[in-house]
Structure formats: structure tokens, C-alpha cells
Amino acid sequence: MSVGYAVQDTSTMLRRRMRHLLRYPSITLMLAGLPVVFLLLFVYVFGETLGAGLGGTSGGRARYIAYVTPGVILLAIGGSATGTSVSVAMDMIQGFVARYRTMAVFQPALLTSHVVGSVVQSLISVVVVVVVAVAIGFRSHATVVEWLAAAGLVTLTSLAVTWLAVGLGVKARTVEGASNTPMPLTMLPFLGSGFVPTDSMPTALRWFAEYQPFTPITETLRGLLLGTAIGNQGWIAVAWCAGTSLVCFFWARRLFNRRTV
């Protein structure tokens, strides 16, 4: 199998995935809409009080918009995992994979197309969230380099979440199962520093919040966009993303090759 064929087959499968996105725009809308609802809910309903709890001199709500936006961005990324694992599971279970495997094609193209498609989908959600956040008063003084770094981190996080979701999708025995297993990913931004500082949490929860991957990612994103201190959180965030992507890549690939359909 030549490199040319690999590229050609991957782009063919990617076109298919993009066609899916266009055919079912409601899924993309829902994936972007839900974090927007959370953003509005947290800013306008809880924002004044939560912002006051953050301390400092500026007003509660305005301050909370800045604080919560990175958390909602990660919520958008985590939430897209469900769509990914469901679409992978549908291919596995409904038999498209069986047909694909009997063809003389570049086999990794199928999962790769899901990964690229899902990353694009979650980046669309992130852009929508950022646009809405800016519209309701989110302001960043980040430089172009910082914005690019933030975009890079968001993409890397999305890649890690997507490979995990792809693995869960390949492993799922039913489409329902595939829609349930990634649920914890939607919860993780809440159980970290995404919505409130971790030191306000009870001890056991705080311990979990400080060591789970979404916290260093949130802190790094916040540092890049708002100029807060990043410290070693940046490297920890990148290590988590790269490690998860790599481990889940091999795991998903192994499952895919082994799983009899």
C-alpha cells in the first residue's frame, strides 16, 4: 500500500465524514449549543454570586465570564466525545466496517477520518463558544502567539478526547453503550478548576480536582487567555494530552484490528 493510496483513501473517508456532519447539522448544533447554554446559565444565573466568591475588586459577573470561559471551552470539547463514539460504534455495529475491511483499501483511513472529523466538529463548537463569550463580555488581552498557543492546546485536548472516544466507540457492543461511556468526560470540567477554584472544594474532591487532567489544561488555557500564572501546569497539560492521545491511539487501533465484526 503506497503513501499515495493511504492519502487518497484517507481523504475519501474524510469526505464521507464531512458529508455526515453536513447531513446532520443538528448534531453539530447541539454539540455547540449545549456548552453555550451552560455558558449563559453560569454567567447570568450563578455568575454574580460565583464571581463575588472569586474575590478581587471588579464586579462579580464580569469577572466570572473571564473565569468560566476556559471551563466552558473544555466542556465543549468533552461533550463532543459522545458524538464521536456513537458514530464510530454505528460504523462498527451496523456493518459498514465489515464492508470496508473486505476492500483493498488503506485500513487505518476509517478511524483516522473519524478522528479528524470529530476534532473539526469540536473546534467548531469551541469557536461558537468563544464568539458567544466575547459577545456577552469576555475580553482577552492575549497576544497573537498566546492565542495560537491556546488554539494549539485546544486542538491537542480535542485530539486526546477524540482518540479516547474512538476507542470507546470501537469497544461498544451497542450504540446506546457508545453514547453512555463517554459521559464522564462531560463531567470532568466541572470536577476541576473549570467553574470554581479547586480550593473551595472539600478535601477528597479537591485532591481529585487537582490531579485530574482537565485542571492543568484549564489553568493553562486561562493563563494564555487571561494572563494568570501558568507555572508547570502548561507542561503537565501537554503531557496529559499527548499521553492520552498516544495510549488511546494504540488501544483503539488494537481493538479495531482485533474486533471481529
Distance CA 214, CA 13 (A): 31
As measured in angstroms, the least distance from the Cβ of 91 to another protein is 8
Whether the CB-CB separation of 182 and 85 falls below 8 Å is answered with: yes
**Member of 74, 105, 154, 188 binding another protein (CB under 8 A):** 105
Whether the CB-CB separation of 81 and 162 falls below 8 Å is answered with: yes
In a 13 Å sphere around the CA of 3, the CA atoms on its Cβ side amount to 0
Calculate the CA 5 to chain-centre distance: 30
- 23 Cβ partners below 8 Å, 6+ apart? none
Q: Which is nearer to another protein, 113 or 220 (CB)?
A: 113
Q: Which of 224, 227, 201, 223 has its CA nearest to residue 212?
A: 201
User: Among the candidate windows 49-57, 101-109, 166-174, 244-252, which touches another protein by CB under 8 A?
Assistant: 101-109
- Count residues contacting another protein (CB under 8 A)? 24
Q: Is 145 in the site for another protein (CB under 8 A)?
A: no
Distance CA 162, CA 152 (A): 15
User: Among the candidate windows 4-12, 169-177, 182-190, 204-212, which touches another protein by CB under 8 A?
Assistant: 4-12
> Helix (H, G, I), strand (E, B), or coil: what is residue 213?
coil
User: Among the candidate windows 8-16, 145-153, 197-205, 229-237, which touches another protein by CB under 8 A?
Assistant: 8-16
- Within positions 202 to 261, which residues make up the interface with another protein, using CB under 8 A? 260-261
Taking the alpha carbons at both ends of the chain, their separation in whole angstroms is 23
Q: Is 141 in the site for another protein (CB under 8 A)?
A: no
**Member of 12, 49, 143, 200 binding another protein (CB under 8 A):** 12
Q: Which is nearer to another protein, 30 or 201 (CB)?
A: 30
Whether the CB-CB separation of 154 and 73 falls below 8 Å is answered with: yes
> Helix (H, G, I), strand (E, B), or coil: what is residue 102?
coil
Q: Is 5 in the site for another protein (CB under 8 A)?
A: yes
**Member of 3, 25, 57, 103 binding another protein (CB under 8 A):** 103
**Member of 25, 55, 104, 199 binding another protein (CB under 8 A):** 104
- Within positions 22 to 61, which residues make up the interface with another protein, using CB under 8 A? 23-24
Q: Is 9 in the site for another protein (CB under 8 A)?
A: yes
Tell me how far CA of residue 55 lies from CA of 103, 140, 236, in angstroms: 61, 19, 27
- Give the footprint of another protein on this chain (CB under 8 A): 1, 5, 8-9, 12, 15-16, 19-20, 23-24, 94-96, 98-105, 260-261
